[in-house]
Structure 1
Amino acid sequence: MQGPLLLPGLCFLLSLFGAVTQKTKTSCAKCPANASCVNNTHCTCDHGYTSGSGQKLFTFPLETCNDTTSSKTTQGRKELQKIVDKFESFLTNQTLRSTEERQEISSTVTTILRDVESKVLETALKAPEQKVLKIQNGSLAIETRVITDNCSEERKTFNLNVQMNSMDIGCNDIIQGDTQGPSAIAFISYSSLGNIINATFFEEMDKKDQVYLNSQVVSAAIGPKRNVSLSKSVTLTFQHVKKEDPVLTIITYVGLSVSLLCLLLAALTFLLCKAIQNTSTSLHLHLSLCLFLAHLLFLVGIDRTEPKMLCSIIAGALHYLYLAAFTWMLLEGLHLFLTARNLTVVNYSSINRLMKWIMFPVGYGVPAVTVAISAASRPHLYGTADRCWLHLDQGFIWSFLGPVCAIFSVNLVLFILVFWILKRKLSSLNSEVSTIQNTRMLAFKATAQLFILGCTWCLGLLQVGPAAQVMAYLFAIINSLQGFFIFLVYCLLSQQVQKQYRKWFREIVKSKSESETYTLSSKMGPDSKPSEGDVFPGQVKIKY
């Protein structure tokens, strides 16, 4: 009885299997997303995708192809982070570095560098779709390039740039001709490794040689296999960490010391000389205070790179103080323009009200907002390996240079407008003598102010090319004496200040003379006369 019953069932199952097979064969055109058809019978996931079942070839119509590039990249970054952590722990292990011999340290560092190179190349090759990959943290900066087109362009050269160091390498030297699949190049810069090398390898050199490492340590690697024969030269360009010049250092410190004294005298003059106290001197005062604090902090803190948190705070404070000084310079230029425009107006109350209303929010508020935004976005770029200043990476220095260039440009426009206005004033035949004198004084101040408030800083941007050293000396000399120029223009060359200085000098001399007279009379007594040869403390010998 079972045989006749099983035969129809078996026939039904065979027919169902055939129907499923027929359906599968005809469903290849309906492969899932990110998959392609193979021989009109199977589907396979595209490169960078993996089937949900893990099978390379599949026919199941509900199969999916999942993106594995991101997960592979994440996993590669995690593996790379382990190497980075190991590298950073070595850098911070002072005991290990003090007990190990130089050869052991060299061997350990070499091993770590090779591990980093291998992991970086492995990460790049796992995700060839990401042709360019950049990674950066406190101790490492990495850039990788992946080539998958077998160098379609002849003589193509790739440029990799990390931490101001760069490398140029030909495409053919990366793929190595016979390499199957994608090839990769990795360029790595180690920002902290130079401190170990300097301390370990150059300490025993003679002092007269003055040998030190003046760039960051870099390494480069090609994968998946190493190329020992390059068809073209590889160009490496290093950014100098220092160009220390003892003459420049002396000029800077002496000049800043003179500026500090002059800025202090200028601030005291603006505070105590009531004859010149107005909106203009208030602007001079705050400019002098900002420059005084900035120069003082520069002298005592620019080289305090340890601890790192303190160095970052010093860099942020310098960023704020110098930006504040430039902002007060901008307010000086604006006030000078408004004064020139209203030169014939006796009452300056409207100008003074405007300046008093805007000068404190602008003078101290705008720099604070700029520094706050910079610190919130990239706080790790405050402080470098050898200076407590802004880092050059990621164009961060432009958070300072950008506002400086903008302020200088605005001041230059205001300077041109002031001279145009003053020329019209001088050409008027009905101008009074006092007006002409005021106009000439404003013209002189405009010239001096443009020089003080902008031109000196522009020399810092011109330190490139063959004239870099000359510009460096000019910048150090002129900019370090900025406080002296302010004291000269706004104090020593002001007739009102000169008059006040002479008055103070006469009062000091008179006070000293009265003090000496009182001392002499008190020693002699009311009815006594000095005899010949008597000498009193602090007095000259009196003869009759």
Structure 2
Amino acid sequence: MGSGKELFIFVFLCLLETCISTCLHGFNQQNDQCIDVDECEEIPNICGDYTKCFNTNGSYYCQCLKGFKNIRGDTNFTGLDGQCQDINECLVPNKCGHGAYCSNSIGSYNCTCNPGYTNDTGLSVGCVDVNECSKAEVQSEEICGAKGICKNSDGSYWCKCQEGSTNYGNERTPCSELDCNTFNTNILPTQSLGGLADILSMMRNSCLALSNPTTASEGKTDGEALLEKLFTATDTILTPDQLDSSEDVSGLLETVEDSIRVIGPQLKRNRTQIETKKTVAEIAVQRGKTRPMGPIYLSNENASLATDWLTAAGTGPYPGFAMAALLSYKNLEKSVNGSFGNLSGLKKDGVNPSFQIFSRVVSVVVSNPSTQNLSRPVNITLKHLGTEESSEVRYVCAFWDKNGVWSTDGCYQQASNTTHTVCTCEHLSSFAVLMARYPMTHTFGLQLMTKIGLILSLLCLIICILTFKFCRSIQGTRTTIHLHLCICLFMADLIFLAGISQTKPEGGCRFVAAMLHFFFLGLFTWMLLEGVQLYRMVVLVFNATMRPLYLYLTGYGVPLVIVIISAIIRPEGYGTKEHCWLSLNDGLIWSFFGPVCFIIVLNVFFFIVTVWKLAQKFTSLNPDLSKLHKIRAFTVTAIAQMCILGLMWVFGAFLFEEGPTVVAYIFTILNSLQGALVFVMHCLLSKQVRDEYAHFLSCICTPQKRYSDLSSTNPSSSQSQASRSGHNTGESHI
């Protein structure tokens, strides 16, 4: 389109010239002559873009260049009444001829041969078919594979697969040989899995249908439907939650992996996810004329896979297809939690660790036939089944080898935290994270302190038991409670000292764990009864004593019921590989810590009420100060006793979780202080008990004086003794 401003100036000058000149429009006056004006030269681009200007006598006209046309349809026009636009030649049917496609350009068009056609023959219009089969006679195996026959077609070709091979319906894909004998039920590693035979039979039928061109269309099953049948059958096998042998596990894993390799190429979607009660899987496929490239990332709630398409394809059956699958089993770890035969070389300080499966079992399947020699390693991130923060634990990346055991060859840990471990593996198989737990080795000093502390505690407890049993001046409900509290603590410490580390035989270790459970629960139960007694002494005032039968039923009956119920529900939870104590798995430990926490909370309530009532009685008008002072002393000792016992088991919980050595030292010190604490608070701090000790020692040290005192008939002495006896009897009612 021409310049509007220039055109306006030209018209204005022409009008002005007409007014002042006698020459007609399109002429200029020179020397009394009218000379034609060449508008095409005088005014640049007067016709606009894509045009050609023609001068005439006294005027001009415009024409569009080849490949353009006037928007008003006129062939000749001026800059005032037209402009040129591109003609789309490709709108003309078959513009480029057979086998070619047209692409428009400004003022022209281009013809390009379609894939499968060429213009090498020099034709002016059209392209001729390329005979791919003839062109690649030498490389025929690259076109259709060793088992395929190339058939040329107009602009393309297709591969006819011979019997025993298939291209899964992708006609321009090389034929790959199918070994249907892989799914032969006669070569099962074990005959114990009936469901495995069903899978093999189903996959063999599918394989035979694919490998027989005459029956492929009849027996072919949709890939998604076949995948669903596979995992339904797998769920049936895994329903008992535990397979009988490692051979069963190997047979199942191998069969599922081989089945996915056959099913994968039959899937229609590029991404397929399927989840059942026992499995979860994600399969990615990529198809194309060239080998696929780019990263692959597959994930589920238990694991994730990071690799690339070149690694997944490898020297696969044909270049235009690649597959990668991530399969996670939800309960298979129970069946493989003891196959650790090939894990030597993981000793630490000469000590072999104990192993435990600490993640779901995960299988990685790719179309690459050389999974034992990958071009580059793959990264597999596995989620832990729990948390373990102990420094005595190591996470190991392992795979399930052909011998039916866990192995670490070619797999190593790249990174790890409390929840996940990243494994880098140079080959593909089924994987899992193993937790190697190393037994905590105590130093000689700690072992010596444990024995000395517990022996000291046992000696103090023996003195306390004899005192509470035979010291008549302090007999009463509270003394009965202290007696049986000391008996429980004595038995618990004695069994702890003799049997906590005696893990063999297994039955004996379970018995030791049950006895420890019973006596430690009994210890806290009698401590609860002491809190109840103090509450009754302050609140009820009258009838504060408790019948011994009720005390025995509560003090020993409640722990016995808890131990019996726990042993019935989880008998395997008594005794571990490291200690004869309650297992930390499956929550059995809460059959001890639960009652202990409940007792401590309940005792805190009783002590708060007791202290509050004592404060009220001290401020009353006529308080019995001697009795109140004694109750206050009882309360203080009971609170101190509860604090020491409760604090000890706070550290005890960390000790049995493989805590650091300092925790073991603190637990040992507090454990040894228990007997000494009871002896100091309930014996040495009691004036009545001290008097009894002094009287007992005086009888032993001065037997003659004891004889003369007993034979004395001094009435005043007898009266004084009777008076003292009555006083002591009065105290025993508190």
Q: Which of the five TM-score ranges fits, normalised by the shorter chain?
A: 0.5 to 0.7
Instruction: Report deviation, 1:170.
Output: 3.5
Q: Tell whether 2:526 aligns with 1:386.
A: no
Tell me which of the two structures has the higher relative contact order, counting C-alpha pairs closer than 8 angstroms and 6 or more residues apart.
1
Of 228, 237, 254, 2:452 maps to: 254
User: Structure 1 residues 124, 444: closer, same or farther in 2, change over 3 A?
Assistant: farther
> Is the Cα contact below 8 Å between 1:418 and 1:446 reproduced in 2?
no
Query: 1:525: which partner in 2?
Result: none
Query: 1:147: which partner in 2?
Result: 281
Of 360, 363, 373, 1:223 maps to: 363
User: Structure 1 residues 224, 451: closer, same or farther in 2, change over 3 A?
Assistant: closer
**SS of residue in 2 equivalent to 1:82:** coil
Q: Tell whether 2:617 aligns with 1:478.
A: no
Instruction: Report deviation, 1:436.
Output: 4.0
Q: How many residues align?
A: 398
1:434-487 CA-to-partner distances (Å, cap 9, x unmatched) read 13422432343233233244233233346799x965444322211232111111
Query: 2:190: which partner in 1?
Result: none
User: Structure 1 residues 180, 157: closer, same or farther in 2, change over 3 A?
Assistant: closer
Separation of aligned partners in 2, 1:273 and 1:174: 83
Separation of aligned partners in 2, 1:511 and 1:471: 50
Query: 1:419: which partner in 2?
Result: 611
> Is the Cα contact below 8 Å between 1:448 and 1:489 reproduced in 2?
no
> Is the Cα contact below 8 Å between 2:356 and 2:436 reproduced in 1?
no
**SS of residue in 1 equivalent to 2:362:** strand
Q: Tell whether 2:304 aligns with 1:170.
A: yes
Q: Tell whether 2:513 aligns with 1:321.
A: no
What amino acid is the match of 2:379? L
Query: 2:632: which partner in 1?
Result: 440
**SS of residue in 1 equivalent to 2:545:** helix
Instruction: Report deviation, 1:262.
Output: 0.8
User: Structure 1 residues 510, 367: closer, same or farther in 2, change over 3 A?
Assistant: same
Of 530, 549, 557, 1:332 maps to: 530
What amino acid is the match of 1:387? H
> Is the Cα contact below 8 Å between 2:280 and 2:300 reproduced in 1?
no
**SS of residue in 1 equivalent to 2:378:** coil
Query: 1:243: which partner in 2?
Result: 440
What amino acid is the match of 1:511? P
> Is the Cα contact below 8 Å between 1:148 and 1:182 reproduced in 2?
yes
Greater displacement, 447-456 / 122-131: 122-131
Q: Tell whether 2:243 aligns with 1:81.
A: yes
**SS of residue in 1 equivalent to 2:509:** helix
Instruction: Report deviation, 1:499.
Output: 0.7
What amino acid is the match of 2:363? G
Separation of aligned partners in 2, 1:80 and 1:315: 27
Give ranges in structure 2 of 5+ residues lacking alignment. Answer: 1-197, 207-217, 220-227, 264-272, 285-295, 313-321, 372-376, 382-413, 419-434, 708-734
Instruction: Report deviation, 1:506.
Output: 0.7
Instruction: Report deviation, 1:191.
Output: 6.5
Of 496, 499, 510, 1:298 maps to: 496
Q: Tell whether 2:657 aligns with 1:459.
A: no
1:489-508 CA-to-partner distances (Å, cap 9, x unmatched) read 11111111001001101110
Separation of aligned partners in 1, 2:275 and 2:562: 38
User: Structure 1 residues 115, 79: closer, same or farther in 2, change over 3 A?
Assistant: farther
Query: 1:352: which partner in 2?
Result: 545
TM-score by length of 1: 0.61
What amino acid is the match of 2:451? Y
Separation of aligned partners in 2, 1:511 and 1:156: 90
Q: Please list, as runs of the form range in 1=range in 2, the aligned pairs for 1:62-211 lying within 5 A after superposition.
A: 72-76=234-238, 81-84=243-246, 115=250, 118=253, 129-130=275-276, 133=278, 146-148=280-282, 169-170=303-304, 179=323, 183-184=327-328, 188=333, 210-211=349-350
Query: 2:56: which partner in 1?
Result: none
Q: Which of these two proteins has the greater Rg computed from alpha carbons?
A: 2
Instruction: Report deviation, 1:68.
Output: 8.8
Query: 2:554: which partner in 1?
Result: 362
Query: 1:95: which partner in 2?
Result: none
Query: 1:263: which partner in 2?
Result: 461
> Is the Cα contact below 8 Å between 2:528 and 2:603 reproduced in 1?
yes
**SS of residue in 2 equivalent to 1:230:** strand
Separation of aligned partners in 2, 1:121 and 1:483: 62
1:90-149 CA-to-partner distances (Å, cap 9, x unmatched) read xxxxxxxxxxxxxxxxxxxxxx9x949947987999996435x5xxxxxxxxxxx62348
> Is the Cα contact below 8 Å between 1:318 and 1:389 reproduced in 2?
yes
Separation of aligned partners in 1, 2:701 and 2:589: 52
**SS of residue in 2 equivalent to 1:475:** helix
Query: 1:213: which partner in 2?
Result: 352
Separation of aligned partners in 1, 2:585 and 2:254: 24
User: Structure 1 residues 463, 76: closer, same or farther in 2, change over 3 A?
Assistant: closer
**SS of residue in 1 equivalent to 2:586:** helix
> Is the Cα contact below 8 Å between 1:80 and 1:120 reproduced in 2?
no
Instruction: Report deviation, 1:390.
Output: 1.0
Q: Tell whether 2:568 aligns with 1:376.
A: yes
> Is the Cα contact below 8 Å between 1:338 and 1:351 reproduced in 2?
yes
Instruction: Report deviation, 1:366.
Output: 1.0
Instruction: Report deviation, 1:373.
Output: 1.0
Separation of aligned partners in 2, 1:182 and 1:288: 59
Separation of aligned partners in 2, 1:120 and 1:358: 64
Query: 1:508: which partner in 2?
Result: 700
> Is the Cα contact below 8 Å between 2:518 and 2:563 reproduced in 1?
yes
Separation of aligned partners in 2, 1:500 and 1:488: 15
What amino acid is the match of 2:526? W
Query: 2:477: which partner in 1?
Result: 279
1:265-293 CA-to-partner distances (Å, cap 9, x unmatched) read 10011111011111111111111111111
Separation of aligned partners in 2, 1:121 and 1:174: 22
Separation of aligned partners in 2, 1:494 and 1:261: 19
1:344-398 CA-to-partner distances (Å, cap 9, x unmatched) read x4x5xx2324x53421111111111111111111111111112111111111111
Aligned residues: percent identity?
A: 31
What amino acid is the match of 2:280? V
Separation of aligned partners in 2, 1:124 and 1:384: 40
User: Structure 1 residues 67, 373: closer, same or farther in 2, change over 3 A?
Assistant: farther
Separation of aligned partners in 2, 1:173 and 1:478: 54
Instruction: Report deviation, 1:340.
Output: 2.7
Give ranges in structure 1 of 5+ residues lacking alignment. Answer: 1-49, 59-65, 87-111, 134-144, 161-168, 516-544
Separation of aligned partners in 2, 1:336 and 1:157: 61
Query: 2:508: which partner in 1?
Result: 310
Root mean square deviation of aligned Cα: 4.7
User: Structure 1 residues 383, 74: closer, same or farther in 2, change over 3 A?
Assistant: farther
Separation of aligned partners in 2, 1:277 and 1:509: 26
Separation of aligned partners in 1, 2:515 and 2:648: 22
Q: Tell whether 2:500 aligns with 1:288.
A: no
> Is the Cα contact below 8 Å between 1:425 and 1:439 reproduced in 2?
no
**SS of residue in 2 equivalent to 1:393:** coil
Instruction: Report deviation, 1:429.
Output: 4.8
Separation of aligned partners in 2, 1:421 and 1:180: 74
